[in-house]
Chains A and B, each alone.
Chain A
Amino acid sequence: MRKILIAATAVMVTAGASLFGASAADKLKVGFIYLGPVGDFGWTYQHEVARQALAKEFGDKIETTYLENVSEGPDSERSIEQLVRAGNQLIFTTSFGYMDPTLKVAKKYPNVHFEHATGFKHDKNMGIYNGRFYEGRYIQGIIAGKMSKAGVLGYIASFPIPEVIMGINATMLGAQTVNPNIKVKIIWANTWFDPGKEADAAKALLDQGADVIMQHTDSPAAMQIASERGKLAFGQDSDMIKFGPKTQLTSIIDNWAPYYISRVKAELDGKWETDNGWDGLKAKMVVMAPYTNMPDDVKKMAMDTEAAIIAGKLFPFKCPIVDQEGKTVECKGGDHLDDGQVLGMNFYVKGIDDKIPGK
């Protein structure tokens, strides 16, 4: 309800601005739809950071608007359409659940350009973009494998979807390269965001002997708990170092700014074309926070791995990959799994003593 109210208010403000803002018609208007509040310190926060970078880069040439707390599903269609009516020429919809609503609005307004994050449907005026976060997870796995004294990692997962499962697998594949006997304990929080529950999950994992915590949920709660207990942890989405100055090993930072800047530039130059981008460390869409709280040899290992991935010499999902039952997974991408296999991943790799919930 709150989301609707806020969305409605924001929409009214935008609509109002469009009425009075006729003089700004020569500026390119760029709109954003956000899932959470801009202060979530995770997913939405990083999109907002990128929007601000955009505003700074282009100054007077563009005008940006955002609607926050827009719930996924049919509600979002109205919000997207309002951005169109307010004169936005390029619109970024920043969550998976906006996929179909974005497509629908895109078909209705063929002259407006859309960019949808993390989906798989596109059109001639609707591009898609996503980050290869698993590349960062692989590096984290190596660090975790080296840093865990107990040989047990604690993983707070959100929902059993391919995006999360590929993260767990990439972590384990990385960790196994340095410690073949590494174990992982997984807790599914069944939420993206509940700081209390994330903290409880972190406590449970530490109580059961894990000594490095990683998460696929959005708040810094787990980092905070690990810090209290004097253990180690990885941040998520943004650099969470201030929640654990002596705790954070690194963090996968979602860095959307370069992509947003390049797309807005293309739009300004009249060269915008639909695309299907899935960029990682190389394009700096995925950035690793500084490697901290680890010895120099581990740090060097992490940096070398990062460099190898950027150079295209190392693929986290390189073949052969063996699943939990010991079957070798078919290798469709030559010497590594192809993007389709990674995007649809629904199995655990060998070495994970757990079951994917509901499978």
Chain B
Amino acid sequence: MELLEAIILSVLAASTPLLIAATGELVTERSGVLNLGVEGMMIVGAACGFGGAWLSGSIIVGSLCGIIAGVLMSLIFAAMTLGLAVNQVATGLALTILGIGISGLIGAGFVGERITPAPHLYIPGLTDLPFAGHILFGEDAFVYLSLALLIGVWLFLYRTRAGLVLRAAGDNHVSAHALGYPVLRIRLYAVMFGGACAGLAGAYLPLAYTPFFIPGMTAGRGWIALALVVFASWRPGRLIIGAYLFGAVTILQLHAQAFSLGIPSQFMSSLPYLATVIVLVLISRARTGGSTAPAALGTVFVPDR
């Protein structure tokens, strides 16, 4: 029982950066913009987030620095794709390469430094509850924040007028434009939100997960966040299943190895990705009224004046 609790705690922590980054990208994509630069925005968020926390001694300042860095990165993307109508795929890939370079430059000054990681919550009485106490009340604040963020996004997309307009811009930008909605401005906000989330997700790594900065420490998590959005077929509800499933397989394969079950580790390491592929196939086969990709995803929009 204790082991199970420990595993669940690890899974929650491992899934959190994926969930935050994927939530942001989901909003971006629902507005019709495909930003492949999540990895780049994340790693810059990690460098700036660590830098901020290290200089100020505050996790909150660090998180804000990460968010701002992510937004700034996304503004570069927005200027190119929305302002100059450049191809989104190419720009997104360039953003990732740029981000990895910039983060190394920013981070060079504090490689090898360490900070006190974000504290785990402790609510007397509740956190000490057997089994569920630590899971529900004893993780770091980011874990619960990521869930609140996702619920907020769900409410926004499906329960507000602004969310409806954002989805309309992503499905048919010509009609949305004809109805008088500022498609480019909506997309700008969506891209910035995506950048903010990616920056926060990146900052989570050095602030809470492994409290130091090393170049390249996101190690591909941005790409997994992108895959999760597809996995979730652009729906927030499925996103949470996907993120926790991915986190669970990642952690469980490590435990299976430590139990020496005799399954080749190379196969175990590939399991999370294999699970993603299988679920994608199942979803596409059983598509009964499920939402597909936003119809205008990845297409540039130049308003006729």
**Same assembly:** yes
Interface residues of A (CB under 8 A from B): 1-2, 5-6, 37, 39-41, 154, 160, 185-191, 193-201, 203-205, 207-208, 210, 219-221, 224-225, 228, 242-243, 353-355, 357-358
Q: Which residue of A lies closest to B2 (CB)?
A: A207
Q: Tell me whether B266 is interfacial, beta carbon within 8 Å.
A: yes
A196 & B107 in contact (Cβ 8 Å cutoff):
no
B contact residues, total (Cβ < 8 Å)? 39
How far is A121 from B258 in the complex, measured between Cα atoms in Å?
A: 36
Please name the residue on chain B nearest to A353 by beta carbon: B260
Contact check, B14 vs A196: say whether CB atoms are below 8 A apart: yes
Which residues of chain A come closer than 8 Å to B259, judged between CB atoms?
Answer: 185, 208
**CB-defined contacts of A2 to chain B, threshold 8 Å:** 97, 100-101
Decide yes or no: A242 and B114 within 8 Å by CB, A40-B215, A186-B257 being known contacts: yes
Distance to closest chain B CB from A60 (angstroms): 27
Selected contact of A196 from candidates B114, B205, B211, CB within 8 Å = B205
Please name 10 pairs of A and B residues whose Cβ atoms are closer than 8 Å in the assembled complex, sorted by A: A2-B101, A37-B215, A39-B111, A39-B215, A188-B266, A196-B210, A200-B10, A208-B255, A242-B112, A355-B260
Query: What's the least CB distance linking A264 to chain B, in Å?
Result: 27
Inter-chain contacts of B216 with A (CB < 8 A)? 37, 193
**Residue B67 lies at the interface, judged by CB distance under 8 Å to chain A:** no
CB distance from A359 to the nearest CB of B (A): 9
Tell me whether B266 and A219 are in contact (CB under 8 A).
no
Is A199 within 8 A of B210, CB to CB? yes
- In the docked arrangement, what's the CA distance between A196 and B100, Å? 17
* In the complex, B129 has a CB within 8 A of chain A: no
Q: Which residues of B contact A37 (CB under 8 A)?
A: 104, 215-216
What 8 pairs between A and B have smallest CB-CB spacing? A188-B265, A39-B111, A204-B254, A207-B6, A194-B219, A357-B265, A354-B260, A190-B269
Known: A204-B10, A242-B112. 13 other contacts (CB 8 A): A39-B111, A39-B215, A187-B254, A188-B257, A188-B265, A196-B14, A198-B210, A200-B10, A200-B251, A200-B254, A201-B254, A207-B255, A355-B260
B14 to chain A: which residues have CB within 8 Å?
Answer: 196, 200
Instruction: Please judge, given known A-B contacts A200-B254, A357-B265, whether A186 and B260 are in contact too, CB under 8 Å.
Output: yes
The verdict on A208 contacting B258 (CB below 8 Å), with A200-B14, A200-B250 known, is yes
List the A side residues contacting B210 at CB < 8 Å.
195-196, 198-199, 219, 221, 224-225
Q: Does B214 contact A (CB under 8 A)?
A: yes
Q: Is B286 among interface residues, defined by CB-CB distance under 8 A?
A: no
Q: Is the CB of B114 within 8 A of A208?
A: no
Most buried by B among A160, A199, A225: A199
Task: Find residues 193-217 in chain B having any chain A CB closer than 8 Å to their own CB.
Answer: 205, 209-212, 214-217
Across the interface, name the chain A residue whose C-beta is closest to B17. Answer: A196
- Complex Cα distance A220/B111, Å? 11
User: How far apart sit A186 and B265, CA to CA, in the bound complex (Å)?
Assistant: 10
Contact of B212 among A224, A355, A358 (CB under 8 A): A224
User: When the two chains form their complex, are residues B257 and A195 in contact, meaning their CB atoms are under 8 A apart?
Assistant: no
Assess whether B10 is in contact with A207, with CB atoms less than 8 Å apart: yes
> What is the predominant secondary structure among interface residues of chain A facing chain B?
mixed
Q: Are A39 and B214 in contact (CB under 8 A)?
A: yes
Asked if A195 contacts B111 (CB within 8 A), the reply is no
In this complex, what residue of A is CB-closest to B260? A354
Nearest residue, chain A, Cβ from B211: A224
Tell me the complex Cα distance, A114–B6, Å.
50
For the complex, what is the distance from the CA of A5 to the CA of B117, rounded to whole Å? Answer: 33
**A2-B100, A196-B221 known; A41 and B214 CB under 8 Å?**
yes
Q: A219: which of B214, B250, B254, B255 is its contact (CB, 8 Å)?
A: B214
Which among A41, A204, A208, A243 is the interface contact of B111 at CB below 8 angstroms? A41
Please pick, from B7, B258, B264, the residue contacting A154 in the complex, using a CB distance under 8 A: B258
Set of chain A residues within 8 Å of B205, measured between Cβ atoms? 195-196
CB neighbours (8 Å) of A185 from chain B are 258-260
A330 nearest CB across to chain B (Å): 27
B3 CB-CB contact with A under 8 Å: yes
Task: Please report the C-alpha to C-alpha distance between residue A310 and residue B19 in the assembled complex, in whole angstroms.
Answer: 52
Contacts of A6 in B (CB 8 A): 101
Q: Which of B174-231 contact A (CB under 8 A)?
A: 205, 209-212, 214-217, 219, 221
Residues on the B chain within 8 Å of A221, using CB = 210
In the bound complex, residues from chain A placing their C-beta under 8 Å from that of B114 are 224, 242-243
The answer to whether the Cβ of B79 comes within 8 Å of any Cβ in the partner chain is no
User: Which residues of B90-120 are within 8 A (CB) of A?
Assistant: 97, 100-101, 104, 107-108, 111-112, 114, 117
